[in-house]
Structure 1
Amino acid sequence: MTNNSPALSIIDRRTLLWGAAALPLASPALAQSHDGSKTGPYTELYDIDRTIVSLDAAYYGAMTRATHAYYRQNTDWVNSHHSVFLRSALAGPTRDERLQPATDDVAKLIGASPAEVALCAGGTEALYGLIVNYTPLKPGDTIAMADVDYDEMQYAMEHLEATRDVILKRVAIPEPSTTGNILEAYERLFNETPRLRMLLLTHVSNRNGLVMPVADIAKMAKSRGIDIILDAAQSVGLMPVDVDAMDIDFMGFSLHKWVAAPLGTGGVYIREGRKNDIAPWLGNRIRDQDDVRARVPTGTIDFAAKLTVPHAVAQHYEIGPDRKLTYLRGLRDYWVERVRDIRGLEIVQPNDRDRYAVIGAFRLPGQTTIEQAREVQKRFVERHGVLVVAKAGLASGPVMRVTPALFNTPEDLNRLVAAIRVERSLFV
């Protein structure tokens, strides 16, 4: 490879997707019409172990074969040039110039400018920085979060309460979670909490897949002077995310889930003009204080992963965001429709199509504790070769989370359905 490799090279479209641009558009009627094939329109894009059916894409979506090959190429290149690259001693572009395309492409992905985006090690890191370093709070102010929010982001909110002399208010999102009752819950929170200053809001819940009406909630919040910190870890790359359309000033997100970039990639967004409301990460002075990159750690990172981000973003667009969402929603509908008739089984998700995407969740009859949910997870893996995930935290109780990926097929979901039917009497 030349000294200009790999970040500034043009991606060879012939190797990008193996012709995936011509893949068939998945039918919205997948759940009703598909024959349960062992292959799908995207299975050939992946080299993964299929011993266990993994339905946990909400944790890690896995790189495609092409992106993984590009990541290995970048890893070899970084290792070959080691500190000479890191110190910008190579001829040609500097280290930061080679990394800049990743920020540029991610900024376009969310409708932001590059100066408003800093890449980091994932959504959790991004959101910790936004929450813990949020500066406008005064003693006696209130902050709020909901039961559908991610565990570690709740820990960050609890840290604010413990260290900043503010009051933390918790909201239980009503079930069934219709658009109307979600907005009523937030309007009630806003009306009853005159000193509410900041709200943690999750775009797509990692617990049950609930998709929040972000733009509507943001409009209500802004009219009252309430800031929103948006957790978009489960939405960027899965569904349209536009910071202007949602009117969001602060957002943290992952890239290793639905964008299918390497592990340890994500980003923080801070709207221009609001950077001073997020303090630099632990007093970070490596960057100019007005630089958004001062709001994330600046240690030695996986540079190969960051160099690979443009390839992953390009492949995301090549496959087609609408195609991805249509196919994934079809897989979600496929398994849900095949277990609805099981007496006592709860599908812990709204029926309103605007309020879900691909993440789903269920409870077996009689399943009420997290210990029982963990037993379900263990039995599904050991007895049926299917990975679903026990998730606590919802006010209504623990659930089993199901998250198909692009590499999953209807046959994979048939194994899930069979496992549910076998284990449905486990706790009754």
Structure 2
Amino acid sequence: MHDRRAFLGMTGAVALAGAGEASAQGIALEPGFDRAMGDFASAQATFGRLYDIDRTIANFDAAYYGAMTRPVQAIYAEKVGWVNRVNALYLRSAVPGHPRDAELDRSRAEVAGLLGCKTQEIALSTGGTEALYALITNYRLLKAGDAVLLADVDYDEMQYAMEYLKESRGAEVVRFDLPEPMTRANILSAYDRILRDTPRAKLLLLTHLSNRNGLVPPVREIVAMAKARGVDVILDSAQTVGHLDFTVADTGADFIGFSLHKWLAAPLGNGGIYIREGRLGDIAPYLGNRIHDESDIRARVPTGTADIAARLTIPAAVAMHRAIGPKRKLAHLRALRDHWIAGVREVKGLQLMLPDEPDNHGSVSAFRLPGQRDWAQAQAVQKLFLDKYRLLVVAKRGLASGPVLRVTPALFNTTAELDRLIAAIQAERGLFA
């Protein structure tokens, strides 16, 4: 329970960071918020009051979409109403005092500040999937016969994007599986081996936090390993912005695609790309996009009409994230994850998908019931837990070792809800045994 102890030890060590920014964004946290964070049970209750959540089903699917807090939701509703009233006047920058591009650039700047980079290195998109498609399919340095690398832990659609490079560019797609147990040593060895054994490798897809089993690999070391062999890395950070506490410098990556509507909990339809300064020319404009100049990163993403109100709400989501405190937020998420893991660890035959190593996970983890082997069984467990126990866990396939049930607590979840999950796993341990 290391992370739970770390969480409990944060009282007084983590101030209400960004309070001035939060206030400026209309973000108000309840009096005594900091003091409540010193006790795990009190923190759960305090976080719970930040959300308007339907609890008829215990929702453990935060990896899909991060619900907005009440303050951010209120600001978004206000933005929706305002944009609807001024409609095309705003889109044409005809509303006095509200230049459209300058206000959207503020959202870009807030994301850049969060990731420790420059505003001109960030472009907004409708989500992580769109962002990563844009980076992968428009990577310019690939020649016919070059190899591109992807692993079993990588997200389905990003694997599809890498496969498209075979059809469109004549690339060789090389797949490999990460060995289990997925220890740091095993992961580094697997990436070293595939890079060594694929001399024509040019591009590597690397997932910052796997949506399948929650694995957080040693990203910086893998990126450095790839660069040493002349291999570029596109980092899939869809599950990490607002979840793990990191900057782009921490990763070493030159190209990153990410979501903002998952763990940062901005409104749905928000994500973005990062391209390190000096590398912009290595990603082609999106389908020949000339709405923006080729020297502008915004040419690298689709430029159709987006949910402007959602994008204008990004600064409020960043302010909320800072007000809660990135380190405190991560510690609480890990404590929730550790709670259910500890409760089922002794179930005979149950498979937990990550070894006990520091910093190899956030909130996301996964399990298999004893004897569970195939996709049909995983789907059956998801349905059983939903219908019988009113719990949402998610069947995921793609790992070489077989399908799993993913569990992703959010800040609004409680240990009481997780105890229901523990009881369900224990009750159904003989389902396939």
Displacement of 1:24 in angstroms is 3.1
Aligned-pair CA distance for 1:39: 4.9
- State the secondary structure of the residue aligned to 1:273: coil
**What CA deviation, in whole Å up to 9, does each residue of 1:18-77 have, x standing for no partner?**
3475253356xx6xxx6xx89533001001111000000000110000000000000000
Pick the aligned partner of 1:74 from 71, 79, 98. Answer: 79
Aligned to 2:325: 320
Give the alignment's TM-score, normalised by structure 1: 0.94
Tell me the distance in 2 between the aligned counterparts of 1:223 and 1:384. 50
Residue 133 of structure 2 is aligned to residue 121 of structure 1: no
Task: Decide whether aligned partners of structure 1 residues 386 and 243 sit closer, same or farther in structure 2, where only a CA change above 3 A counts.
Answer: same
In structure 2, the residue matched to 1:22 is 34
Superposed CA offset, 1:330-360 (max 9, x none): 0111000110111111001121022111101
**Matched position secondary structure for 2:186:** helix
> Equivalences for 1:330-409 in 2 at 5 Å?
330-409=335-414
Distance in 2 (alpha carbons) for counterparts of 1:421 and 1:348 = 17
The partner residue of 2:421 within 408, 416, 425 is 416
Q: Deviations over 1:393-422 (max 9, x none)?
A: 000100000000000010010011111112
1:121·1:266 contact (CA, 8 Å) conserved in 2? yes
Unaligned runs of 5+ in 2: 1-20
Give me the whole-angstrom Cα distance separating, in 2, the residues matched to 1:138 and 1:267: 26
Aligned to 2:11: none
- Which residue in 1 is equivalent to 2:115? 110
Q: Would you say 1:219 and 2:231 are equivalent positions?
A: no
8 Å Cα contact 1:334/1:410 also seen in 2: yes
SS of equivalent to 1:100: helix
Instruction: Please state if 1:230 is matched with 2:242.
Output: no
In the alignment, which residue of structure 2 is the partner of 1:89? 94
Relative to structure 2, which stretch is displaced further, 309-318 or 18-27?
18-27
For the pair 1:273 / 2:278, whether they are aligned, the reply is yes
Determine the C-alpha separation between the residues in 2 that align with 1:77 and 1:18: 27
Q: TM-score, normalised to structure 2's length? A: 0.93
Q: Confirm or deny: 8 A CA contact 1:38 1:411 kept in the other structure.
A: no
Residues 181-224 of structure 1 deviation map (CA, whole Å, 9 limit, x = unaligned): 11111111111111100000000000000001110011111111
What SS does the aligned partner of 1:272 have? Answer: coil
Match of residue 151, structure 1, among 156, 163, 168: 156
The answer (yes or no) to whether the contact 1:26–1:323 under 8 Å persists in 2 is: no
Q: What is the CA–CA distance in structure 2 between the aligned matches of 1:10 and 1:90, rounded to whole Å?
A: 25
Q: What residue is the counterpart of 1:175 in the other structure?
A: 180
| Greater Cα shift, 39-48 or 379-388 | 39-48
Contact 1:78–1:304 (8 Å) recurs in 2: yes
Aligned residues with identical type, % of pairs: 55
- Structure 1 counterpart SS, 2:84: helix
Distance 1:292 1:388 in 2: 38
In structure 2, the residue matched to 1:208 is: 213
Asked if 1:261 corresponds to 2:273, the answer is no
Match of 1:298 among 297, 303, 308: 303
Runs of 4+ in 1 over 6 A off after TM superposition: none
Deviations 1:228-273 (A, max 9, x none): 0000011111112211232110000001111110011011001111
Name the residue aligned to 1:4.
none
Mark the runs of 5 or more structure 1 residues left unpaired by the alignment. 1-8
Kindly provide the amino acid, as one letter, of the partner of residue 17 in structure 1: L
Once the two structures are TM-superposed, the CA of residue 15 in structure 1 deviates from its matched residue by 4.5
Indicate how the Cα distance of structure 1 residues 166 and 15 shifts in structure 2: closer, same or farther if over 3 A, else same.
closer
Greater Cα offset, 159-168 or 408-417: 159-168
CA contact (8 A) 1:23 1:41 kept: no
